[in-house]
Amino acid sequence: MSQYQPSVLPLPDDPTPPLAVCVQLTMPADSEYWEEFYGQLLWLTHWIAYERDDAHTGRQVAATWRRIISTIRFCSPPPANLAGLIEDFTMPIRVDCDCNVFVTCCDGTEKQILTADQVQKFVNSQPGPGSTPPAPGECKHFDFGLNSGGSYLVGALVSAGDTLTLSALDGATTDVAPLGRWNCPSGELYFGGTCQGLTQTDPGAPAPALPIGIPLYLISGVYYDARALVTVPGGVLNVPVAVVCNYNAGGAFEGRMSGDLLVCNNQAGTWSLSENLAVNSGHITPSVAGFDGGQTVWVPGSGWTDAACHSNLANTARYNICYIDILFDHPVTLTHADILYDTVVGVLSDGGGDTLNSIIGGGGGALATAASATGSGKVLSWDGTLAAVNGLTILLYGSDLTGTSCPPTGGAVLRALNLRGIGVGPF
């Protein structure tokens, strides 16, 4: 079949007249009329529409028509159903029957211009390589968009214990377009702009016992109702998740649903805390168990150091000790602790001993101990797994002397500490 070829137009006497006459047209709010109207106008902007001559006058005439079209404006205020139509026609524009808009470039090629609806569909649709999955112990929101009959690939792999939550679901879909029933994301019948409270099932649907039209998670070959929070079952490790509509395959699909998808990575992450106490005081406070808190002070360039000849609350002895607490903001699971310290051991009326203790609720216990001995660069460390830890207590002896006399020698300095654990960190 031969294509329709418009007739060649005669060249006007003046190819570049001034634009001096204003004309107003009233058009129907019908896309077919607009397409025909602009199609005819845009033909005038091509030099091939005119008779040929050696002066290439057709180019000048085409340029004049482009100037004319560039002055088209809608009435102010524009009718509501015409608002947003393109007004700048300095370059040829083509709109096809599916309302896809194309601009013709200077080299004759076409580029598509996305409409507002098309941009919104891209924003609320499949996440791409730039979407970062949530880190262990964290959650992340994804814009969710699913076309009926299509699938949405979740932007993160999931494992046992992870959770998926769809919320703010909107839209409607069908598998019997154009005139069959439509469904809300809840599975209810969509009619007259509202969800009617009626559902139906289909024995051929992926989840035959659940309402048609609802979103489903597909995890390791099993379908799950995505209308409620889903916890990934045991035995699943780093697998992709797809979201589909609960429709039988091969339907006449139309429509779309959108919403917010929250993915929570419930795998236990790790944390670490390293503090150089010669540089800053860290998260440490002097202990007040049996003391007034003045027995240990922070000395810049050194660390937490004993306050010489400090008395306990009972005033029965004098101490040169480093006695401090590290109190966490919330309970943690601890897997490692080590401290770096120096001691000069003097009189030890009570026997001394260096200890690293846990604080759990109202109690706790020793994680690591060492007999008191003079030395620098000493390390006391512990490894294991201990849950619900609220903090640590560290006691390092320089000296203790029963009575009211000051110990002649002895001292202790805590210089650094390192902590590690799983889950959420202490601060």
* pLDDT for residue 79: 47
* pLDDT for residue 1: 41
Q: Which runs of E-coded beta strand occur in 66-162?
A: 93-95, 101-104, 110-113, 139-147, 151-153
CATH architecture of 122-264: Sandwich (2.60)
Nearest partner of 73 among 56, 89, 96, 51, judged by Cα: 89
* pLDDT for residue 329: 94
Q: Which residues of 326-365 are buried (b: 16+ CB within 10 A; e: fewer)?
A: bebeebbbbbebbbbbbbbbbbbeeebebbbbbbbeeebe
Residue 90 pLDDT class (50, 70, 90 cuts):
low
* pLDDT for residue 347: 95
* pLDDT for residue 122: 52
182 beta partners? 190
Contact by Cβ (8 Å): 182, 245: no
Angle formed by the axes of helices 31-43 and 57-69, to 10°?
Answer: 150
* pLDDT for residue 88: 44
Residue 84 pLDDT > 50: no
For residues 5-28, give the mean pLDDT. 84
Query: What are the pLDDT digits (tens) for 238-281?
Result: 899 999 999 999 999 999 999 999 999 987 778 999 999 999 99
Domains 122-264 and 271-422 share a fold: yes
What stretch of H or E contains 120?
Answer: helix 116-123
From 4-8, 87-91, 123-127, the region with the lowest mean pLDDT: 87-91
Cα distances from 102 to residues 5, 94, 95, 133, 172, in angstroms, run 21, 5, 6, 35, 29
**Amino acid making up residue 119:** V
Arithmetic mean of pLDDT over the chain: 88
Q: How many CA atoms lie within 13 A of 270 on its CB side?
A: 6
Tokens 């200890």 belong to: 355
Query: What are the pLDDT digits (tens) for 353-385?
Result: 999 999 999 888 999 999 999 999 999 999 999
Query: What are the pLDDT digits (tens) for 217-242?
Result: 999 999 999 999 999 999 999 899 99
Nearest partner of 43 among 111, 101, 89, judged by Cα: 89
Nearest partner of 156 among 278, 292, 264, judged by Cα: 264
Fold designation for 271-422: Jelly Rolls (2.60.120)
Angle, CA of 5, 10 and 14, to the nearest 5°: 140
* Sequence ranges of the domains in the chain: 31-113, 122-264, 271-422
Tokens 């310290």 belong to: 341
Contact by Cβ (8 Å): 315, 369: no
Residue 200 pLDDT > 70: yes
From 32-36, 140-144, 288-292, 341-345, the region with the lowest mean pLDDT: 32-36
DSSP secondary structure code for residue 101 in this structure? E
Query: What are the pLDDT digits (tens) for 92-132?
Result: 778 877 677 877 777 667 777 777 766 655 554 556 554 56
174 beta partners? 254
DSSP secondary structure code for residue 11 in this structure? P
Q: Which runs of E-coded beta strand occur in 316-374?
A: 317-344, 354-360, 363-370
For residues 165-169, give the mean pLDDT. 96
Nearest partner of 408 among 350, 351, 345, judged by Cα: 345
CA pair distance 115, 85, nearest whole angstrom: 10
Edge-first strand order for the sheet with 101-104 is 93-95, 101-104, 110-113
